Amino acid sequence: MVRRGRLAAPLLALLLSLPALAADYRFTVNDMTAELTVRADGLVELRYALTFTPEPGSHPVDIVDIGMPNESYELGSARAAIAGTKLADIRRSSYVKPGVEVHLGAQAIVPGRTGTLEFSILLPRMVYADSEDARFASLQFKTTWFDDRYVAGNAERIEIRFHLPPGSRPEEVKYHDFSNGHEPSEMFLDGDRVVYRWLWLDRPATGPCAAGASFPRSLVAGVSVPPRRSILKAVAAVFFALIAFVLSLAPVWIILLIIILAVRSNRRRLQRYLPPRIGIESGGIKRGLSPAESALLQELPLSKVLLLIAFGLLKKGKLAIKEIAAGDFRYHEQAREGLELHEYEASFLAAINRDNLLDKGKLRTLFTAMIAALEKKMTGFSRRETNAFYQTIMNKAWEQVRNCPPGQLPAELAQSLEWLVLDPEYEKKLEPYADNAVFLPGGTDHWYQHFPQRSTAGGSSVPGSGSARGVGQAAANLVGSLQSFSAALLGDSAAFTSAITRVTNPPPAPSAGGSGHSGGGSCACACACAGCACACAGGGR
């Protein structure tokens, strides 16, 4: 088993690095077991054992969504593991409401393999008063399920087990008879508590299985009370219903509102140029990214990413920039032998045309290639953890600048400016250093001082010319140069980014089947039989 596990990791890495070979999710849910243990304090511990086998050629099972009974679940208590290996990345599900998503990471189940996900979580608000007998408390539960577009065949077995509270006795408990008339397969004593067991064989895992039981109320510290209908909510519902009725009399306004909302939503989506999941998040930090790559991973404006690419080339002495008029820049490649350039830096230089301007078409090619390269680099690493790591580097850079002795500040800024620019408020934060010797005439000739200053009243664009008019003006010139240059790089940045997004993160193809994820939907749970609590929702990706 150990050898197989070691062989699975490089095989998984190979499969994940070739996303074109992987189709959509398609898997068999071989087995599903849900165990609920009622504690004396009234909380319920839910434990799932879910066994999956991906179909040949399908996407690995790398994230599993599990529906929760209600929004009160305690995410901090959630635990998950595969074959004894703990999984640390458990989040609120972005697809199943309410629900959680478990990221399998390096333990992802690849086609041709079978794996069992073990999951547990603590659930409040599951035990309610029995609606038929005030002396009893009750528990109802429905299993999570999976979208039938992604599930192949039936589950061999689906099982629900209720471990009733300590002190429960067979003659004092009862199960709930749902409309399907399914009785427990077994009832037995486990120590000092009754256990009910329901079993379904050869049943699809594309819908919920339900179970319920009641037990003496005195066995738990308390029961949950169903929320009362709020008068304010009722009034609000009537108010919004009235608004809807009024709007229904003017369908033109409804159509206009829908169009406005759709356009705004599409504009926001077009600014997200990275694929929805850049790499498979198995955890861990991807170190060694340049400031430009870090900005790209954070989906900062592409003009800022391009600014950082230019910074890198300026620092290497491979690029010179001249401002011949306000906001009108010319780019000149410098002859420097023996330099090692990033691919995107070479592409930037190749985008300089005969007029020493930047070719927008070649810049689009630069970014699509850069995003693809970044996606490959991030395979097997966590985007969230990596972004947090580079945010820490940026914060440390600011701290070093703040604590730097005045005489060493020029060198410190020269070293740190690329990381400082990752900060959305970097221009404002640079202003306090206007009185520093770094901007005085005759200071050390650092690379950033060759950055083109804003033109003076006489039209001069000589680097550092603003220094002659005072330290404060020089600082303002530096900040203004960055702002002016960044804005001039791409012109209409939104349109440029949209063109990139259409290639790197195109809108999902319309589907009659729904939203395009593999999880099921949520369900309504009515107070029926003898209780009011149940678990609804679907999961799985």
Residues 311 and 398 in one domain: yes
Residues 196 and 310 in one domain: no
Tokens of 377: 């680099």
Residues 179 and 324 in one domain: no
3-class DSSP assignment, residue 351: coil
Residue 435 falls inside a structural domain: yes
DSSP string for 202-231:
EE-SSS--EEEEEEEGGGSS--B-PPPPPH
Residues 190 and 332 in one domain: no
Residue 439 falls inside a structural domain: yes
Residue 241 falls inside a structural domain: no
The span from the CA of 270 to the CA of 52, in Å, is 35
Instruction: Compute the chain's Rg from CA coordinates.
Output: 30
Rounded to 10 degrees, the C-alpha dihedral 290/294/297/302 comes to -90
Residue 537 falls inside a structural domain: no
Residues 210 and 316 in one domain: no
The span from the CA of 354 to the CA of 158, in Å, is 69
Among residues 173, 198, 219, the one where a domain terminates is 219
Among residues 219, 254, 274, the one where a domain terminates is 219
Residue 506 falls inside a structural domain: no
Q: Total structural domains in the chain?
A: 2
Residue 272 falls inside a structural domain: no
Residues 326 and 416 in one domain: yes
Residues 215 and 295 in one domain: no
Among residues 500, 516, 536, the one where a domain terminates is 500
Residues 83 and 183 in one domain: yes
Range of the domain at 150: 2-10+24-219
Residues 197 and 306 in one domain: no
φ, ψ dihedrals at 308, nearest 5°: -70, -35
| Among candidate residues 194, 187, 184, the one with its CA nearest the CA of residue 219 | 194
The span from the CA of 226 to the CA of 125, in Å, is 9
Residues 212 and 295 in one domain: no
Query: For every one of its 541 residues, what pLDDT tens digit does the chain have, with 9 covering 90 and above?
Result: 233 333 334 333 433 333 333 458 889 999 999 999 999 999 999 999 999 999 998 999 999 999 999 888 999 999 999 999 999 999 998 888 899 999 999 999 999 899 999 999 999 999 999 888 889 999 999 999 888 888 988 999 999 999 999 999 999 999 987 655 578 989 999 999 999 999 999 999 988 888 999 999 999 998 987 766 556 666 677 777 776 666 565 555 555 665 666 555 555 544 555 655 544 445 678 888 999 898 888 888 887 888 888 888 888 888 888 877 777 788 888 888 878 899 999 998 998 999 888 888 888 888 888 888 888 888 878 888 888 898 999 999 888 888 888 777 777 777 787 888 888 887 778 777 655 444 433 344 444 555 554 444 333 333 333 333 333 444 445 555 565 666 667 666 666 666 666 655 555 444 333 323 344 433 333 333 344 444 444 444 5
> How many other CB atoms sit within 10 Å of the CB of residue 106?
18
The span from the CA of 173 to the CA of 217, in Å, is 10
The span from the CA of 388 to the CA of 450, in Å, is 31
The span from the CA of 438 to the CA of 446, in Å, is 9
Residue 230 falls inside a structural domain: no
Q: Are 269 and 355 in contact (CB under 8 A)?
A: no
3-class DSSP assignment, residue 99: strand
Residues 215 and 359 in one domain: no
Residue 17 falls inside a structural domain: no
CATH number, domain of 149, equals 2.60.40.1730
3-class DSSP assignment, residue 303: helix
Tokens of 484: 């002016």
Residues 102 and 213 in one domain: yes
